[in-house]
Structure 1
Amino acid sequence: MTSLADIPFSLLDLASVTRGSSIGDTLQRMFRCAQHADKLGFERFWLAEHHNMEGIASSATSVLIGQVAAKTEKIRVGSGGIMLPNHPPLVVAEQFGTLDCLFPGRIDLGLGRAPGTDPVTMRALYRDERRADFFPDEVSELQRLLGPDSGPHPVKSYPGSDSQVDIWLLGSSLFSAQLAAQRGLPYAFAGHFAPPLARQALNLYHQLFQPSDVLEKPYAILCLPVIPGETDEEAQYLLTSAQQRVIALRTGKPLYLPPPVETMEGIWSPMERMQVEAFLDLAVVGGPATVKSKLTMLAEQLPVQEFMFSMDIYDEGKRLRALELLAEIR
């Protein structure tokens, strides 16, 4: 039987703004969450790049990574991820090379090939729609820029060269799973919003993995929603915040995290309920015993070396307590 004690726990944060709160207050809550996770022994704290999404405040991802790293001591801090088609590889290498100089051995660079936004905002970012096609080449460029100094070259990252930055490939489809396997890089699957392909992508990554200077054997993270509560009933109540926000996401409304409600009846239609439940298919919700049982089952059924959790919990005290429950479960 797989022991959860052998599987690191990590967090993915979008700097979610709660309804009625300010961005400044949101970021302070995020810092307190990262500090609590650091003290509880969580492995890493990642931030996701999104643009023009009202209610999500993690758009300046590398800036926030530096702030979180400065306010914590041991936990690894990184991107989950930087959407590479939005940025020149040299700029990414310089930013993360600088972070590595400030916080050596604690910085992760997770890379995605999606824009992290809508088509209109893509143009506002001056993004070439063909950039995603060059993702494998730009990953190679970043590996060169952040890797050992390879001698004379017209373009170098300074800071960046000879860094300790760990490069990860992120994905919600099979493309990045295959690329990560071919390059011998660690891989993270976005099960928190693309659950149907989780099993196939993780299996494919492990089947195709080629050892490299970075990794001798595959290492995969599964990111999934988790809502721990003191009881199953409390967790189901807390879950209604995430359920309401998924409806907002699907209907193009602002993504402020709303307070939980006693019932979703009257808030969602039967069709919306089906859509929300499919979106949250991998969600682990319940009291400590239920969460432990579900995570153990996932660890036995899927080839994962680490769990990363997204936690859409409205109340800060409940969120910090949820971290404690996860640490106790592990």
Structure 2
Amino acid sequence: MFINNTWYVAAWDREVGADGLFSRTIIGVPVLMYRDSEGRLVALEDRCCHRGAPLSVGRREGDCVRCMYHGLKFDPSGACVEAPAQGRIPPQARVRTFPVMERHRWIWIWMGDPERADPGLIPDTQWLDHPDWRSQDGYIHYDVNYLLIADNLLDFSHLPFVHPSTLGGSEDYASISPKVDRLPDGVRITRWTLNTEAPAFAKKVREWAGPVDRWNIYNFTLPGILLMDSGMAPAGAGAQDGKRDGAIEFRGCQALTPETATSTHYFFAHPHNFSIDQPEVTASIHQSVVAAFDEDRDIITAQQRSLSLAPDFKMVPLSIDAALSQFRWVVARRVEQEQQQAAASATGARPAQTAA
């Protein structure tokens, strides 16, 4: 089950151009996106209300879209405004619309109750287009359940083993127990690895005279948003006390958007605030991240195949699983609350209160 009443990343802004139609499935629902004549985003269910044909294989007609099966035309509000051979268009002839917002180059969509779509709930990803930071756009499609990717992002102890030649660094990184704090909608993870070897991707963009102090501090919140302050500085330079002279810093922005129960959209960028006038540095960082995330996809896809063969398999929890266990609990709690609210609305009863 998926959370409905939350903002999901649906696309990078460049994916939905001034012309044409763009389709992407979000939590099992096909969504059609396009821009009207004034550049405003439109998001409709990508399924004609007549016979269920996808509107994305239709055509644009001004600010409307026409289904190319039987010719019904829909305006940006989802209403059918023309139906060939129909003297009267039934009022129920419409398709569902979704609140959609554009913030810092990510397009966000609200799949639940439109009345609850508060733009103030959209996470701050200002580094994606901030003039003092540089990054490249990233997208990977996974054929796995999104929670398996969330598990991976919530436990960085895998870095030296899955990413030994990219993001990982030395194996002492895996021996560090991070600090995990509960947030109302997720967790906050703080990990410091002192006097360690700089990882390969950092060596490509700067020479290091010796070991470094390395940090990863990030919030991982519903529905699957990772916002991270990370970097490294010469060992003993005081980075842990807030002194970041001589450091390299990043503000990772990552978003998991479930496509179906067994597939996921993964959006990411790794903004940096050094050498921003050197595009080759940005390209090097991006390529290292892409290579590492492909390594993640390989192991998580193998994990998904293994688990699909044993539906009753019980994972053995370890102490390093604290963050991912807490996040899965937050997800399950939110899904349960929405189910209770839906059931109460159907019966007119008041939903039961769930303890925090």
Provide the TM-score with structure 1 as the length reference: 0.27
Higher strand share: 2
Question: Of the two structures, which has the highest relative contact order with CA contacts closer than 8 Å and spacing of 6 or more?
Answer: 1
Higher helix share: 1
Larger radius of gyration: 2
